[in-house]
Amino acid sequence: MRRTSSPELAATGLSEDQQVSVCGAVKRAIVIGNGYAGAENQCIGLIRSLGLFDRHLYYSVDRPRGGIIRCLQWLPISICKRIYRFISSICAGFSINATGITDVFDAKQIAALARNTFDKNGPLLVVACGSDTISVASSIRRLAMENVFVVQVQHPRSCLERFDLVITPRHDYYSLTPEGKRQIPFFLRPWVTPHEPPGRNVFLTTGALHNVDASTLRKATLEWKDEFASLSKPLVVVNIGGPTRNCLYGVDLSKKLCGMLQSILWSCGSLKISFSRRTPKKVADIITGELSSNSKVYIWDGKDPNPHLGHLALADTFIITADSISMLSEACSTGKPVYVVGAEQCTWKFSDFQNTLRERGAVRPLTGKEDMREKWSYSPLNDNAEAARRVIQDLAKRGWKFEN
């Protein structure tokens, strides 16, 4: 795990002149990420809603990589660490260089920080996201239970009592619904998690937490408005992800999407298309080949600064592939019209998430017959603020509160 900011910020969150000796005031946070922006932005979104964005320290859990470890990435990180150390000791004995393998240290440093600074600087909020962070976050709580409040974002699948609070989407419990149970063969049910309904320390959201709020959008508007000024309205943004195990699609859907986009271009002022890192090259090539020659269409080449936040701030309407819970959660938090492509390809909890958004009136399926000038409204997703309120409530039960 590597630290990527000043340790003084984690120890105090304030300058020496500003420090307040109030043990019950939470005025600092630590974010533990897994190296993936999608997971880490969920943590950042939560601490931003809690008012701790400028008083947090970021750590990244680095999974050992390289050599044979590269073939064992499906194993828990703790096991990978043991294998790494064993291989390293053998390589050292034979003077072999274990190139590409990075060590990961444990949670003792953060736990010691929380204990040693508690009297002066109060409790330490720890927010982690991603399966690789589970062992680190739970170890911090075990070692400094009286000095920390540990939030695990995304369902850890087992032993939820290791955390003070687990924040996870409602569809993670799809396997416990009547429909979910019908889809699981009897002999597989013992292996499908979670096994029990959400307990007292679980908070359910509609979508994924994210790093987008009113302040972020205002800043993005100022940053991108000049570049977008020449674009005709309405501005329609198309976000294309990539197939997942529970949301399969490929060339057929990309060709269908091209046809639908060409059918709605008459009602668009501008159409901006972005691909994600998961978008298959063949899908991107088909869409680029079919649409790039149209004067209304602008395709991000992946090289210039990422316009994603500018799109969220300045778009009038979104078209998003159904595979990306994060992109849909962000777009549906703006209250702007969101059309979904490929929802019929989704299964399991992805399908449940799509149903939830449709029932809220937050999304509609793209058919190719829409008039993009049409406006419609719904109650925007507000998962970040709702999750932050739950954190505040749980802290209050321990006699702790956030320092303004």
**Residue 69: what pLDDT?**
55
Stretch 190-216: mean pLDDT = 94
Same domain, 201 and 116: yes
CATH of the domain at 332: 3.40.50.2000
Same domain, 389 and 282: no
Question: pLDDT tens for residues 78-93?
Answer: 666 666 666 666 666 5
pLDDT cut 90: percent of the chain above it: 73
**Residue 343: what pLDDT?**
95
Q: Are 42 and 165 in contact (CB under 8 A)?
A: no
- Chain-wide mean pLDDT for the chain? 87
Place of tokens 């091209």: 258
Same domain, 109 and 194: yes
Same domain, 225 and 348: yes
Length of the chain: 404
Query: Is pLDDT larger for residue 366 or for residue 82?
Result: 366
Residue 96 inside a domain? The answer is no
Same domain, 28 and 162: yes
**Residue 110: what pLDDT?**
93
Residue 376 inside a domain? The answer is no
Report whether pLDDT(324) > 60.
Answer: yes
Least confident of 55-59, 102-106, 389-393: 102-106
Rounded Cα gap, residues 81 and 103, in angstroms: 7
Least confident of 78-82, 149-153, 165-169, 357-361: 78-82
Same domain, 195 and 244: no
Q: How confident is the model at residue 99 (pLDDT cuts 50, 70, 90)?
A: very low
Query: Is pLDDT larger for residue 301 or for residue 353?
Result: 353
Report whether pLDDT(106) > 50.
Answer: yes
DSSP H or E stretch at residue 287: helix 281-291
**Residue 62: what pLDDT?**
72
**Residue 249: what pLDDT?**
87
Least confident of 49-63, 91-105, 291-305, 360-374: 91-105
Q: How confident is the model at residue 61 (pLDDT cuts 50, 70, 90)?
A: confident
Residue 161 inside a domain? The answer is yes
Same domain, 57 and 192: yes
**Residue 72: what pLDDT?**
59
Sign of CA dihedral 263, 289, 328, 322: positive
**Residue 179: what pLDDT?**
93
Question: pLDDT tens for residues 112-133?
Answer: 999 999 999 999 999 999 988 9
pLDDT cut 70: percent of the chain above it: 83
Same domain, 16 and 116: yes
Domain membership of residue 298 as a residue range? 214-365
Same domain, 259 and 357: yes
CATH of the domain at 180: 3.40.50
DSSP one-letter string for 200-246: TTEEEESS---S--HHHHHHHHHHHHHHHTTSPSSEEEEEE---BTT
Stretch 373-402: mean pLDDT = 96
Stretch 194-199: mean pLDDT = 94
**Residue 17: what pLDDT?**
38
**Residue 36: what pLDDT?**
84
**Residue 302: what pLDDT?**
86
Same domain, 225 and 156: no
> What's the number of domains the chain is made of?
2
Tally of CB atoms within 10 A around 357: 23
